[in-house]
Amino acid sequence: MIVTNDADHHNGFRRIMMALKERGWARSDIDRIKAWALADNLGMILSDVKRYKTDGTLLEKVRALYMVRRNGDGWKIVTITEIKPPFLGPGDIPR
């Protein structure tokens, strides 16, 4: 999904959250974050996340890779990619 403005971002995020809630999602926990600086204004973040249902059971485990860039005084996400098992992603960090 390409996001070109704030309205696109809001609508895309809303669709993702609605789809998660339809699957019974209630909350997420971040198990690991690993970050790499690639340049002064470019970075990469690896994140392991567990998503839980409303009854407290595990919905799924997700490993995601974010490319980020500096935009003024803050950082913006450029891309989000899920790393599917059995692949480990950058750094070959065990799951």
pLDDT, mean of residues 37-61: 97
Q: Say if 44 falls within a structural domain.
A: yes
CATH label of the domain that carries residue 44: 3.10.450.540
The domain in which residue 47 lies consists of 26-88
- 51, part of any domain: yes
Q: What does pTM read for this prediction?
A: 0.82
What is the domain count for the chain? 1
Three-state SS at 60: strand
Rounded to whole angstroms, the Cα distance separating 33 from 93 reads 11
Q: What is the mean pLDDT of residues 50-71?
A: 97
pLDDT band at 1 (very low <50, low <70, confident <90, very high): confident
Q: Is residue 59 in a domain?
A: yes
In a domain, 21, yes or no: no
Show Cβ contacts of residue 2 under 8 Å, excluding neighbours closer than 6 positions: 8
The answer to whether residue 57 is domain-embedded is: yes
Average pLDDT over residues 13-22: 94
**According to the model, what pLDDT value does residue 6 have?**
85
* Mean pLDDT for the stretch of residues 28-55: 97
Q: Which two tokens stand for residue 91?
A: 């750094």
